[in-house]
Structure 1
Amino acid sequence: MMSNVLSILIAVGIGLPVVSLAVEALRRSPSPPAQLHWAPDIPIQYVEVNGIRLRYIKTGHGPVLVLLHTLRTQLDLFEKVVPELAGDFTVYALDLPGHGYSDIPAVKYDADFFADAVEGFLEALNLNDVMLAGVSIGGALPLIVAARRNSRITRVVAINPYDYAQGRGMARGSLSARLVVMAAGIPVLGETVMRLRNMFIMKNVFEGGVSDPRSIPPQLLKEMYLTGNRKGHYRALINLLRNAESWQSATRNYARIKVPVLFLWGNQDWARPDEREQDHRLVPGASMVTVERGGHFLPLDRPDEVIRHLREFYRHTASPGGQYNP
């Protein structure tokens, strides 16, 4: 009896990875869209940065604002805020490497790699006097780049930065997210689980990052699921999750930041109050605001508050010595 059970377990252990490989091979890789479904008048552009082709958009007029998305999403995360912000800023948003429709290089996906890509993007487009803002890892990146004393950055808005819990904060969002994070750390099992991904699991993970599931546009969810079918995309995500501790390690340099910083938190973000306060203490003179009815994906949950605080933070810090005290 025991030998039969053992044989079954061995068969499943061998068979499931094989099945997952077949499932992955049958997935159809999507073609890059010719236009944004939410703003067809904004042209989609590409630029090469450190040998990596990055997708980005540019719209509006005024001071330069660069927006950075979360892990596993893409520039379309900002679809609710870009059109409004374009009235006040020259807005750039990009797909980070391994995300959206940017290249998926076979590299180590740690915090330094992404920070190098962001700095390379600013240099490639010769952007100066930049307000660098983003969410999650996109919220930690402006802090890391500012801590490097990059002269192109003059102010930072870190929205729900993902730099705590050894990079496992996503596991707090839902049962599906917890299982994905746990599996990702285990060789073979992580790859098998990722290859067997489906819309139900992804939807559950994303809903764990918002205050109201209705705030996620169905078209956005569908497009992000499809981009996950690009060849190598799931491997990049596993790589990122396996190097997620690097985001917390980067906080040791936050004290070097000299530009104005705003921490913008959703009150239902995955970060705990003490973790938020820790970030606030690490950055000299930083301002901090908590938005009610806001989850991790704050530009989806509370786009009105994101727009308001970006505008007001810039206005208050536009003059030397200006402070933002909301």
Structure 2
Amino acid sequence: MMQHFQIQLWTYGTSKIMVSRNATDYALRWWPDQKPEFLSLTPGGPEVRYLRVGQGPALVLLHSIRTQLDLFQRVIPKLADRFTVCAFDYPGFGWSEIVPGADYREPAMREHVVNFIERLDLPDVTLTGESLGATLALTTAAMLRDRVRQVVAFNPYDYFPGVERANLLASFIIKSVRAPVIGPIFAGMESRASLAGILKGGFHDPRSLPSDFIDELVRGGKRPGYSNVARGVYKGLPSYVAARSYYPRIDVPVTLVYGDHDWSCPAEREANRARIKRAKMIVLKNTGHIASLESPEEFARILIETL
């Protein structure tokens, strides 16, 4: 029987918000036998939903813009017999705690990743991310050298205008959400159709987008306060372009993996490879920006071969 949580009052800084958790909401519909948990990243700080499964060397998976740990639903089961796989919803994302007025720029998000790794006391970590998560994996490796073994970065999000390259719908909505005055209105108007339309721009073959994954994102996006999170995330995206300045500080091996139909252009990919002194590059055929869902076999294979 699914567990139900009572409403509790959580405190973060000077803000207090009500959190209601129903296990039927945050359960893994793609892997019902596994149950995610919650932990505070810092004493009194935001609580996040996370999954820890499998055995072997530590592997931390970092998800992308407007998604959550379920982004990796097609790869985690393939990796759990080789790695101790850990993934979490960033604060405000998915089913993690929403903190009013939180900062979603790269430095603040990187701090969440560092706190997550230290909170679980993970050693010798392979940091793997996709899109925004790939950039966070790279910058975290630059700052947390003693715990990171290597980085595998799938389609790093570190170029302008980023997600607006997905399609015309994405360009219109993202610009509108970031705009003054009308921004909060557009942020609160997200629908299943608009979300699916934007996400499809991240695939070479849009049929690779799972319908149940969209449903999961819609469920989390209906939580009170989520529209403010979305606006904060989109407004903070330029900070991920600026984060490239950390790349030369990375001292561990890095594998950059790009879909041949990623939003980035070849010159931008090559520039990243040149910035990182121990980097190699792999290009996946017939793959767009969301490789974990479009090419999960290749995604898993690359990680397993790094062991």
User: Structure 2-normalised TM-score?
Assistant: 0.90
**CA displacement 1:66-106 (0-9 Å, x = unmatched):** 10100100100100000010111111111111110011112
From 192, 200, 220, the counterpart of 1:227: 220
Match of 1:156 among 143, 151, 155: 151
Superposition map of 1:192-231 within 5 A: 192-231=185-224
Is 1:41 aligned with 2:57? no
1:122 corresponds to 2:122 = no
Q: Hey, what's the Cα distance between the residues in 1 that align with 2:246 and 2:113?
A: 17
Map 1:280-299; keep pairs closer than 5 Å.
280-299=273-292
Q: Check 1:192–1:281 CA distance in 2 against 1; reply closer, same or farther (3 A cut).
A: same
Contact 1:30/1:229, CA 8 A, preserved across alignment: no
Contact 2:154-2:291 within 8 A present in 1 as well: yes
The 3-state SS of whatever aligns with 2:61 is strand
CA contact (8 A) 1:59 1:86 kept: yes
Distance 1:30 1:126, change over 3 A: closer
Q: After the TM superposition, which segments of 4 or more aligned residues of structure 1 sit over 4 Å from their partners?
A: 29-32
Matched, 1:261 2:284: no
What stretches of structure 1 of length at least 5 have no aligned partner?
A: 1-28, 316-326
Which residue of 129, 138, 154 maps to 1:134? Answer: 129
State the Cα distance separating 1:185 from its structure 2 match.
2.5
- 1:191-240 Cα shifts (integer Å, max 9, x gaps): 11121221111110010011112211111111111211111111111111
Offset from partner CA, 1:36-87 (integer Å, 9 cap, x none): 1111111211110130101011111111101010010010010000001011
Give 3-state SS (helix, strand or coil) of 1:46's partner.
strand
SS in 1 for 2:112: helix
CA contact (8 A) 2:106 2:239 kept: yes
Larger radius of gyration: 1
- Which of 241, 244, 263 in structure 2 is aligned with 1:251? 244
C-alpha separation in 2, matches of 1:260 and 1:298:
21
CA distance in 2 between counterparts of 1:71 and 1:300 reads: 14
- Alignment deviations for residues 17-49 of structure 1 (CA, whole Å, 9 cap, x no partner): xxxxxxxxxxxx994525311111112111101
Pairs aligned (count): 284
Q: Does 1:147 align with 2:124?
A: no
For 1:271, the equivalent position in structure 2 comes to 264
Report what 1:184 is aligned to.
Answer: 177
Structure 1 position 76 matched with structure 2 position 70: yes
Give the secondary structure class of the aligned counterpart of 2:82.
coil
Equivalent residue letter for 2:181: V
Identify which range, 135-144 or 31-40, moves more after superposition: 31-40
C-alpha contact (below 8 Å) 1:30/1:226 kept by paired residues = no
Counterpart of 2:175 in structure 1: which amino acid?
Answer: M
Percent of matched pairs sharing the same residue? 37
Which secondary structure state, in structure 1, belongs to the residue aligned with residue 97 of structure 2?
A: coil
Shift of residue 180 of structure 1? 1.5
Say if 2:130 is the partner of 1:104. no
In the TM superposition, residue 149 of structure 1 has moved relative to its aligned partner by: 3.9
Structure 2 letter corresponding to 1:124: R
CA contact (8 A) 1:42 1:58 kept: no
Give a deviation string over 1:216-270, Cα, whole Å, max 9, x none.
Answer: 1111111111211111111111111112111111111210100010001111111
- Relative to the length of structure 1, the TM-score reads 0.85
Q: Does 2:303 correspond to 1:310? A: yes
**SS of residue in 1 equivalent to 2:223:** coil
Compare the two structures and name the one with the higher helix fraction: 1
Where 2:121 maps in the other structure, the secondary structure is: coil
